[in-house]
Chains A and B, each alone.
Chain A
Amino acid sequence: MMERLAYLWPEIAVFATTCIVMVLGLSRSLAVRKASALVSGLGLLVALYLAITTTPGRIGGTLVDPAHGQSFLPTMVPFAKCLICIVALILLPLLAGTVDRAEEARIASGRGVFNPLRSNRAEFYSFFLFSITGLLLVASADDLIWLFLALELTSLPTYVMVAISASRHRAQEAGVKYFFLGALGAAMFLYGFALLYGATGTTNLNKIYDIFTASGISTLGMLGLLITLFGLFFKIAAVPMHFYTADVYQGAAPGVSAMLAFVPKTAGFLAILLIVGTVGWRFGPEGAGASLPEPIRITLWVAAALTMTIGNTLAVMQSSAKRMLAYSSIAHSGYMLVGVIVGPGDASFSKSGIAAVLFYLLAYGVMNVGCFAALAAIERKPKAGEDEAREIDHVDDLRGICRSHPVAGWTMVLCALSLLGLPPLLGFFGKLPLFTSAVSAGEIPLVIVLGLNSAIAAFYYLRLMALPLLEEAHPRAEATEDAPFAARRIAGVVSAGGVVLLAVLAGQLMTQSEIAGRYMPQYKPAAAAEQSQPSLMDALQAVPGVTGGR
């Protein structure tokens, strides 16, 4: 029991914070309710600390015991939790002012008194924390049922958050769309899980791995794997499960869209790595094959190529900045799928696709939050008769904002260039290991597709860069003003700073993500299923860089 708990301290911390925030939401005082964001931030900080110090599988934590956690990617767990907490901490200030804004403005102007029944603030933040809890649980999953519950815990709060994030019909429409398609995705991977259970007789990922390694993958098992993957494609917004993305991102408030681009995507990629990890990247007799099983490899290959191409091509055609970023988010999923196909390589960062994916998730999280923060930090002045300022969405609204709103403008410029992968920004160092690992795995055609897609992407990222920096505001454009939430600008500054500084200081992060991307079965070649547990421990102890005793 305690061994299992050792995995869960960050989740427990976030969940406890969630409960505190919900209780705060019962308060009759506005000041107390306003503290909910602060409390959430403190909870995430504690979770980050716990993820660094206690989670088994890495420096600072203890070594993993295969009886109490998934054992083929054990070092991924702490890294994933750290990256989730870090990006969640940047997301949190971006959510400022998303709900209850009109109500609180009315109170501030003295036209009304605080009505506890009409405030959603605390609920909004606790939904955010619920979602983060789910995401952390995905990282530590070792069982299909656990994985399913964690994925649903990640997604369910986001449906509500989308719907209440803005007081307009489009947000509700987006929420409904997202919910129905999300339910479809969930149904798909649940069906896949059921088939996997039928094929192997167990829901434990370690045991599924052992059975697949010992006796191959049955047709039923392969069907289960493929259906699961398609279900998870919904989470990462990969083709062919990407259709909801643009509408939902556009409908939601920018802070929530930024969250949608990171939280479900990260959940999806962690889950995909776990599911694909049960068959391994050297699938074959005695774990000595050349690559993933062919049907899975082909599925992922086609999905990756289509996802980046369709995402980038459609993004070029958009005139709404949020839709553009939505399609760009699809394209980036395609880039990361390349790393999933490549797999762990050998124990070096430059050849490990998993390490590249984990590093890219962090890089993408940071630069993507920056772009949405730039959108959230500016809004149109309310027209006569409107009591609420409207957010900017059309790319033309971005014209010249480097001069009129320097913080938001430069955040957009830096983050768009980083998403493009222009050196020496963070996005380049995220993309470089994808290149090197795919080249090392011999996936040259995929590298060419990736390269050409980076070039297509230049079309629209260049617009996102050039409009704020080089253009003048349109003379007939509606007047814009800084959104009255400094927190949103802080989120932007932090991401823009991260895009520049993390690129310079990426060395340690790369080392950590290399350790995190180690696929344990490859450290114990030709291990039979029944010997796997003791020999795995030996293998883990032999891994350079993983120190610390039990």
Chain B
Amino acid sequence: MLASLILIPLAVALAIVVLPAASARAAALLGTLAAAAMTVVALVQFDWTEGGLMQFLTTTEWLPALGINLSFGADSISMLMIALTALLGPICVLASWTAITERVKTYYAWLLILQAAMVGVFVARDLIFFYICFEFTLIPMYVLISLYGSTNRKRAATTFFLYTFTGSVITLAGLAYVAYFNSTLPVDAFAGAGTWTFDIDTLEKAAAGQMSLSQQSLVLLALLCGFAVKVPLFPVHTWLPLAHTEAPTAGSVILAGVLLKLGTYGIYRFALGYTPDAFVYYAPVIATLCIIGILYGGLICWVQTDVKKLVAYSSVAHLGFCVLGLAALNHTGIQGSILYMINHGLSTGALFLLIGFMYERYHTRNMKEIGGLAAKMPIWATFMVFFVMASVGLPGLNGFVSEFLCMFGTFQASDHWSTGIWGSENAATIGATGGKLGPWYAAIAALGVIIAAMYLLIMVGKVVFGPLKEPGGHDSHGGGHSGGHGADSHTHLPPDLTAREITALVPLALACLIFGIYPKPLFEALKDPVNDTVAWVHKIAPPPMPEGNVNPSMIGSVEIGSPAANAASNVQEIAR
């Protein structure tokens, strides 16, 4: 089932190579639709009441000498990410329909290979298979940026590749260390201990349950080398604006929609799963980096004149919220963070689409050269305003829900907060609250929300509203009439969006609206896996409880004297 989600895009990519160039985009559209249909089948077959369980598990032996298997499985988080990937697939093909005119076979083949690799990341249950897919996304993206990007594309593609490749090689060393550590454990510690394996679950038990804090910290550092670059967190974010700005529209959509999420997904799965002690210990540091990213990204957006660069930097800020929610280490924060991964993919993906459509017509992204497009492109303007609102976090749209949850989780994540939370039936269970952040973190991060509203609304104000301004000598003083022929004479596109472009945008808009008004199904789906994760983190690294409110079940769950308990008590001492 899950393997077919990888194999369908790969097969279509192969078909595109064989077929004549004229049919490439049709084949790509059919292929991505087939993959999407297959994803729908998988979504239906998935047992959503057991969202925390890995389902569709299959394992095939591959390289036993190195402990590598081909094993697939998905819980509800993986399924949602796969759904996002599958949804963006056909949209990207539609977005490239007229924009890509040269070397179309190469383009669509790599686009589909990229989709296969991304799905592979989300379904992998073997660490090396995960890593292979994680790394292999680099090549298609490199080709897409460097062949089909704008003027500075070569440098952008190389920077993108080198940044992420460097980080993830260090991650590989960390993963190898975890595998080695597991192989040195006594065989009777748990199933799979003492053998050389790259099974994700086995290694999770080994790393989280048996490593000391200092070992976990090193592993966490190695993991963050790869994942933080991918997200990107503050000091290592410099590749992102460049890559986003230069990438073709579909490349930006996939980059913002899914590729960045590989980083947050990796942090969720591995930093939280493998190194909870260290993650709890360093949560304030990570949160601080996130907040710097939120504020710094926002401030840079404020002074941008390039619309695409503005949205790219806004991704830095938004992903900061996303990781902040993870660092909150409680149910609310983590749930918000995972919702954020999906919602950011929808709204920012759509923004990149809109900017791409505009660029296709005007060949500029400079806010000084364009303005007041509402007069010329009313449909485009409507969508633009809608998605900017979703991105800003207007209540009633999807961005609000996740951003609010991330902030709220951060706010309530104090050491001495233990009452129930809004919207969760599990309020009183283990791990409903806890963590090391607190109101201060939330308060400063909230400034980022204000900044985000400011720069996005300024951008809308300039580009959508105001007097019409068009580039290339068509600066009309009176209205749209004199600029009427300027754009479409070059591109053969009508002034406003075509049916194809609207088709690409409508699913995203619907999803933004539905998840904004009625996010309950998502909450239900995410409840189990997030509960499991929080319970796992708090089992390994229990949060300090207020006096007299000690949860007995939690104390019993960690054996006294085990490395985990020792590490946990270290954390508590340090925390005091």
Contact = CB atoms under 8 A, between A and B. Distances in A.
Interface residues of A, number: 35
B414 to A, nearest CB: 36
Contacts of A470: 143, 146-147
A55 interface: no
A301 interface: no
B131 A423 contact: yes
A514 B143 CA distance: 37
Contact of A511 (B65, B147, B161): B65
B173 A466 contact: no
A458 B165 contact: yes
Contacts of A433: 66
A459 interface: yes
A405 to B, nearest CB: 17
Contact of A507 (B65, B135, B170, B173): B65
Interface in A446-499: 447-448, 450-452, 454-455, 458-459, 462, 466, 469-470
A510 interface: yes
A424 interface: yes
A469 B138 CA distance: 15
Nearest to B162: A458
Nearest to A348: B196
B365 to A, nearest CB: 24
Given A423-B136, A455-B162, A455-B165, A507 B64 contact: yes
A351 B67 CA distance: 11
B66 to A, nearest CB: 5
A77 interface: no
Contacts of B166: 452, 455, 458
Interface string B100-139: 0000000000000000000000000000100110011011
Interface string A345-389: 000111100000000000000000000000000000000000000
Given A351-B196, A510-B65, A436 B179 contact: yes
Contacts of A38: none
A399 B286 CA distance: 44
B139 A439 contact: no
A349 B65 contact: yes
B66 A432 contact: yes
Majority secondary structure of chain B interface residues (helix, strand, loop or mixed)? helix
B176 A439 contact: yes
Interface in A401-447: 417, 422-424, 428-429, 432-433, 435-436, 439-440, 444, 447
B177 interface: yes
A466 B176 contact: no
A507 B63 contact: yes
Interface string B160-184: 0110011001101100110110010
Given A506-B63, A510-B65, A458 B161 contact: yes
B180 A423 contact: no
Interface in B516-531: none
B62 interface: yes
B177 A439 contact: yes
Contacts of B180: 350-351, 436, 439-440
A424 B132 contact: yes
Interface in B233-272: none
21 contacts: A348-B183, A349-B65, A350-B180, A422-B139, A432-B66, A435-B172, A436-B196, A440-B180, A450-B173, A451-B169, A452-B170, A455-B165, A455-B166, A458-B162, A462-B158, A470-B146, A507-B61, A510-B65, A510-B66, A511-B64, A511-B65
Interface of B: 61-67, 128, 131-132, 135-136, 138-139, 142-143, 146-147, 158, 161-162, 165-166, 169-170, 172-173, 176-177, 179-180, 183, 196
Given A439-B176, A439-B180, A470-B146, 14 more contacts: A349-B66, A423-B135, A424-B132, A424-B136, A433-B66, A435-B172, A439-B177, A444-B177, A451-B169, A455-B162, A455-B165, A455-B169, A507-B62, A510-B65
